Amino acid sequence: MSLNELMIMRHELVLVAAVLALLIIEIGMPEERKQKINVFAAIIAATVTIIGFLPADTGMLFGGMYSTDPLRMLMKNILNIGVFLIILQSVNWLRQDLYKDRSSEFYLLTFSSLIGVSYMISAGHFLMFYLGLELTTIPIAALASYEQFKSKSAEAGIKLILSSAFSSAILLFGISILYAANGDLYFESFQLSDSLINVLGFIFFFSGLAFKISVVPFHLWTADVYEGSPTNVTSYLSVISKGSSVFILTIVLFTLFRVIQPLWEDVLYATAILTMTIGNLFAIRQQNLKRFLAFSSIAQAGFIMLGIINGTSLGMTTVIYFVVIYVFSNLAAFGVLQTVGHASGKLTMDDYNGLYKTNPQLSLVMMLALFSLAGIPPLAGFFGKFFLFTAVAEKGYYTLLLIAVVNTVISLYYYLLVVKAMFINANENPIASFKSDYSMRISLVICVAGILITGFYSPVFEYIKYLCETF
């Protein structure tokens, strides 16, 4: 194997190099200059993202353990951008005295988790898939309890690690059944035999992944973990973890489990309805905005299922397109939560009353993000949802479509509750006016640009469509 061939694995190699570089910088840097590590990390994240976009060869490595193609590259690039934005949003938060001796660990764990994401998406073997999944989750479980002196954060960490261990066990059981029935672990040569046992294996496999995407009825950990974790870790969980699991689920369903498509359509049909409805109904009742966004992200996962049900390249396109928009919208919303929480320590809906009077720009960003999540034209979220609905309609599932539309209306109501709080509700002592730091502003500007551009600039959709058709 030559070095040229190894460069197919560029995304992962660059990230491993980044982790090693950060480790060396952390060890070698004198104590009083440790603050600089934040800048380094942001630069490294930007470099990783840019290198990901450079053209490269695709193919398989290590006898089929690792495989990549333009579509998987795109998925990794989307998630790289997400991580870059999250790191920009974290910089100021990590500058606090409280975290100054542990800021490098934050970046190390984030990058390690991103390596897991990349390997998972590029997996060509069940073992690589499983390792990628674990590498995605375990560092984030440590980050969830990053503020270990807060009991909520420690609780979030332990809940995440236990529920993910549980889901991994179920997933592994599913994989072992599939292996026993079909005698192969390589994705390339894997062929489902016609037997009832595959249904059982698939159900276990799906349940394990559904845990990570927090699809109802596997969503019970979500709200508590999202609430207890630091806000930027929550955004990582809701955007990167969820996005990567959705990607790999789509790939696996469309390739390995293509034979049993009628079965997984039924499974997705039921879970999509449950996920949208329960996510939405619980979101209405939330006062804490992190819990609110947790349930909103559960509902969004339900919408994503709609695209997968379609089962054609159109369905795949809509799913990826929707995730791109979801990354930008959700990160914008979490960014505002993060900066407001950092400046004032306030997180509930009532605290946001009258935010527009004191912090108009942040309120506008939040409004755009929520409108995009709700799917109001002309923002990108509208097109994302619209295409998902098209995918369902094409399949002829009109009942499902009707339920999805009703759910969109419900979600519109609770997203507007927050907007109303910021713009209309009066408040005698609103959150004081403050200036957010530069990196946060850059990330919010990128998010807003993303929300607008992915909606209006149709080549984005065309490009994803082209890649999905050639997949």
Partner 1 sequence: MATSAIIFYTIAGVMIIFSLLAVTSRRILRAAVYLLFALAGTAALYFMIDYQFLAAVQLIVYAGGIVVLIIFSILLTTHINEKLEKPAPGKVFITAVLTLGGFVLTVYTLSQHNFIVSDLPQTEATVSHIGEKLLGYGEGGYVLPFEVISILLLAAMIGAIVIAKRKASDS
User: What angle is formed at CA 193 by the lines to CA 188 and CA 199, rounded to 5 degrees?
Assistant: 105
Span interacting with partner 1, options 79-87, 196-204, 368-376, 381-389, rule CB under 8 A = 196-204
Asked if residues 153 and 144 have their Cβ atoms less than 8 Å apart, the reply is yes
Select the residue interacting with partner 1 from 88, 94, 109, 249 (CB under 8 A).
109
Rounded Cα distance between 54 and 52, Å, is 6
**139 lines the binding site for partner 1 (CB under 8 A):** yes
Select the residue interacting with partner 1 from 7, 24, 50, 98 (CB under 8 A).
98
Tokens of 136: 């995605």
Determine the distance from the C-alpha atom of residue 395 to the mean position of all C-alpha atoms in its chain, rounded to a whole number: 26
- Least gap, CB of 305 to partner 1 (angstroms): 23
Tokens of 183: 């005698």
Span interacting with partner 1, options 46-54, 60-68, 229-237, 388-396, rule CB under 8 A = 60-68
Select the residue interacting with partner 1 from 148, 255, 261, 361 (CB under 8 A).
148
Looking at the Cβ atoms of 98 and 453, the one nearer to partner 1 is 98
Angle of helix 360-374 relative to helix 380-395, nearest 10 degrees?
10
**145 lines the binding site for partner 1 (CB under 8 A):** yes
Angle of helix 289-310 relative to helix 380-395, nearest 10 degrees?
40
Looking at the Cβ atoms of 196 and 426, the one nearer to partner 1 is 196
**19 lines the binding site for partner 1 (CB under 8 A):** yes
Angle of helix 459-470 relative to helix 70-94, nearest 10 degrees?
130
Binding mask 155-194 for partner 1 (x = CB under 8 A): --x-------------------x--xx-x-----------
Select the residue interacting with partner 1 from 134, 155, 224, 437 (CB under 8 A).
134
- Judged by CB under 8 A, the number of residues near partner 1 is 50
Rounded Cα distance between 14 and 47, Å, is 9
- Least gap, CB of 263 to partner 1 (angstroms): 14
Phi, psi at 378, each rounded to 5°: -100, 25
- Least gap, CB of 325 to partner 1 (angstroms): 30
Tokens of 8: 């197919």
For 87-106, give the DSSP string.
HHHHHHHHTSGGGTTSHHHH
Which DSSP letter does residue 428 get?
Answer: S
Contacts with partner 1, residue ranges (CB under 8 A):
1, 16, 19, 61-66, 97-102, 105-106, 108-109, 112-113, 115-116, 119, 125, 127-128, 131-132, 134-135, 138-139, 141-143, 145-146, 148-149, 157, 177, 180-181, 183, 195-197, 199-200
